Structure 1
């Protein structure tokens, strides 16, 4: 099960299967997180960003104290702003170098 392409989250008293490739952004809300998917759905469940980042695959990266993004679903990056779908996210200075390096590895 190490090479899973999905995970289950508990939200609204049910387990929901989410494929990693469908996750765009994970936003921290204190002890909860809000998961935004490519198809526009949002799920809120009980977990902190700090606990969550350790269990996600390598294509996920923390770019702000409140955001984890899926590198695969980034549309553009300019002036410390990421665009994922129609959501703009500010990249914190402390995470910018790491993000730039990761995106550099994905360039043609």
Structure 2
């Protein structure tokens, strides 16, 4: 399953199938993460951001100590904020240059 497009997470005592394309952002909550989706659903999952970023596809990028975003679901980026659906996320200074370089490669 090298090119997998989905993963299962255990939340609320059940396994939920999540497609990577449906994830907009992931917020770190200590040893847990809150996963935001394009359908406005939120899932709490027991895993740290550090562990999670290693198992996500390349279109996911850490933009803050507390946030990972799916680059394919970014609506806009201005100043130090990324807009993903209804979320306005701050980009930390330490992650800004890497994000800018990645976005430059995606420009027409």
TM-score, normalised via structure 1 length: 0.99
Structure 1 position 7, deviation (Å)? 0.3
Structure 1 position 73, deviation (Å)? 0.3
The alignment of Structure 1 onto Structure 2 pairs a total of residues equal to: 108
Structure 1 position 86, deviation (Å)? 1.1
- Residue ranges of structure 2 left out of the alignment (5+ in a row): none
The residue number in structure 2 matching 1:80 is: 80
- Aligned partners of 1:18 and 1:36: how far apart in 2? 11
The answer as to 2:26 corresponding to 1:29 is no
CA RMSD of aligned residues (A): 0.4
TM-score, normalised via structure 2 length: 0.99
- Residue ranges of structure 1 left out of the alignment (5+ in a row): none
The list of structure 1 runs, each at least 4 consecutive aligned residues, that deviate by more than 4 angstroms after superposition, is none
